[in-house]
Amino acid sequence: MELIMQPTFSTCGQACIAMIAGKSVEEVIQDMKTDGATSIGQLIEILDFYGIGHAERNKRISRKNPIPYKYSILTVHTIEGYTHWTLFYDNKYYDPEFGLTEGEYTYGKITSFLEIYAE
């Protein structure tokens, strides 16, 4: 996995998809038809468009699902108070805003995850 940084404040979702799909952020922005903030529905739609396998829906972090799947798009509520997308792969956080993190994630609270089935 290669870390791709988001080109603007609101393109974390596009950067996560670019990392998963092996495409440039610009290409993902063009295919998604937005360079703004994205919803989980939009991320699922573009994963489908690229033919990338994934869970049907986002799963909340809970007692039943205490940790994200080994390859997931994470929903993070940042310390600064905004919602953010981060990629979790091979026990590392590929955060398009804050960079690569191994170990504890300290930029916010992970509240849910979307499992990715491609490798």
pLDDT of 67 reads 83
Question: Which residues are within 8 A (CB) of 48 and not within 5 positions of it... i.e. 6 or more apart?
Answer: none
Q: Quote the crossing angle between the two packed helices 40-49 and 25-32, to the nearest 10°.
A: 100
Reported as a pLDDT band with limits 50, 70 and 90, residue 66 is confident
Each residue's pLDDT tens digit, 3-54: 999 999 999 999 999 999 999 999 999 999 999 999 999 999 999 999 999 9
- Is residue 119 pLDDT above 70, yes or no? no
Burial environment of residue 102 by CB neighbours within 10 A (0 to 12, 13 to 18, 19 or more): exposed
Residues with Cβ within 8 Å of residue 85, at least 6 apart in sequence? 12, 13, 15, 16, 38, 43, 73, 74, 75, 76, 96
Per-residue pLDDT, 118: 79
| Residue 23 structure tokens | 């495409």
Which amino acid does the sequence have at 80?
A: E
**Residue 64: its pLDDT value, please?**
80
Using pLDDT thresholds of 50, 70 and 90, give the confidence band for residue 68. confident
Q: pLDDT, tens digit, for every residue of 77-118? A: 998 999 999 999 999 999 999 999 999 999 999 999 999 997
pLDDT at position 53: 97
Query: What 8-state DSSP symbol labels residue 71?
Result: E
Give the mean model confidence (pLDDT) for residues 48-71: 91
Asked if 77 and 108 count as a contact pair (C-beta separation under 8 A), the reply is yes
Rg (CA), the chain: 13
